[in-house]
Structure 1
Amino acid sequence: MATGESRDGTSHGHSKRQRLQLLDVTGLPEDGPESAGPWATTVSLAKACIEVAERQRAAADLRLPYSNVDVRRLPPGADLGGLAAQLGALARLKELNLGSSRLSGQLQLLLGTLQGPLESLELPFCSLLPCDLCYLSQSPHAPALKKLDLSGNNLSASLLQPFVELLVAAAASLLHLDVMECRLRDAQLQALLPPLQRCARLRSLGLFGNPLSMAALRALLLGTAPLPDLRLVVYPYPVDCYRDDLPPSSSSSFLSDGAVDEERLARAAAELQDLLRSAGRADAVWTTSLSAPGVPDCIEL
């Protein structure tokens, strides 16, 4: 269920520096009294954390993506307190991934028990609420964060201002930011540009899947060009490059799989490259692909 390695890839028996690399819950049994749905999965996760905490106190990296935790479907009287307590038992936890768990309104409960600030926090598709980001922006985690992934959360409305405050709080430490498929349009990106410009150490920015125009991408490029370490931006297909107008409620599937005019897209990419050269940032990679050369190196902590 749990595997550990040193940072250089050596196994338990060959290194004193161990960390939890992966907690895999895909093999949990589907039969028996504990298979009562998402809450049973949460109980199993808490038990797994207990085992990890007891056997591997040096755990630094915990990943629980696709765990089916859904606070909207907990049994009466149940909460995530057990899981929160076990997370708090991991004394050296620095990196946490809770992707695709519906944690609406529960972030303070889960992170408030941790013994130290996180350096990496991945919360994609977690149905976060404004109170979650408000807590995070005021918590000890914010000024320590090097990597933050909020992809799949709707940052275009009530989450926007708390997200701005979070970026300001994390500006001195943040290296990697992913906000893919967050329904960000030009107006929201304009509001995010000033706090982004304060992230002096930022190395990578993920924006794929947001309905942004070329005008917004130009402003972003010119506004962030002075950031010396920003070497990678994964940008969306500009809305200008689609053959058909976006529907009123555009989905990320349309943005990624819609009818893109390849000639327009090529012209847009060439224009961005020209702007990078003119700004003296030919070293930066602006791409619509996560498989572009150099991407893995850019996203390492």
Structure 2
Amino acid sequence: MRRFILLTPVALLLAAIVVILATEYVVARPSRRAKDVAYVPASAPDFDRERHILDVYSPKKKAATAAGCPVVLFIHGGSWTSGSKNIYTFIGRRLAKQGVVAVLINYRLAPPVHVPEQAADCARALAWTVQNIKQYGGDPARVFVMGHSAGGGLAALLAIDDALLAAHGLPQNPVRGAIMDDPAGLDMYSYLKEMKYEGDQQYLVPFGNDPAVWKQQSPIYKIRPGIPPFLFYIGGETYPSISGSSGRFRDRLKAIGQPAPYTIIPGRHHIPMVLQLYWKDNIIYQGLLKMVGA
């Protein structure tokens, strides 16, 4: 199947997650979890008690420095229409076990909101993280973003869209690096203009019908000197649109003098690219830990 995707086989993902969660409780979990913390004030007119929440996973061992541990904010995928932080508890625990404070977030889904509102939610979660993570053992000066699938595109926006962050309480971009796990949405402008795969109309639900919005929400058009470093992991058997847009993103980074480590993992399809994060010695964690300095 050569369609764009994302998490179209949701049943496959959920079945695999059930198996993972069933064994999670027999695995040592040296972490503390603060669950369902609101990152938007309940008094806000658009507050969503199910989507404007996040979990924080902190190492039980004290950080080696007084400043605290590095922080990774993880954004889930799901075609911008599905998904939950609760599916990815194993990522929070694996990161905490390796000396990283992990922040796993929910954000509002389409419909009824669209990608600009989702990006705004992610920016608000990032602002909350910078302002509050110290009390969870994290270093607000070492915040990184990570995402899989649609979450990868949203994470890329946080890394390079300073105007988005400034509109939501962050006059200075705090992101020190971005880890892309088979990211989608890096260039939805080109993708939605071409509409060359069966079922592509479904992505008009989260992105709408305005090409100007498609471009505004496509991180590839915001690349410029001075943005934080990117780290790419791409499945060797992933969807052509993901490998293609990721390759073009990497090439644009190179054009501004910013090489981006780009690893293709042979034999991996799109969903296994996130499921492999169940194992703490996974190649993605190896690169991530090096980037964040854990």
User: Common fold, TM-score beyond 0.5?
Assistant: no
TM-score range, shorter chain: 0.3 to 0.5
TM-score computed with the length of structure 2 as normaliser: 0.36
Question: Using CA pairs below 8 Å that are at least 6 residues apart, which structure has the higher relative contact order?
Answer: 2
Which has the higher Rg, Structure 1 or Structure 2?
1
Q: TM-score, normalised by structure 1?
A: 0.35
Higher strand content, 1 or 2: 2
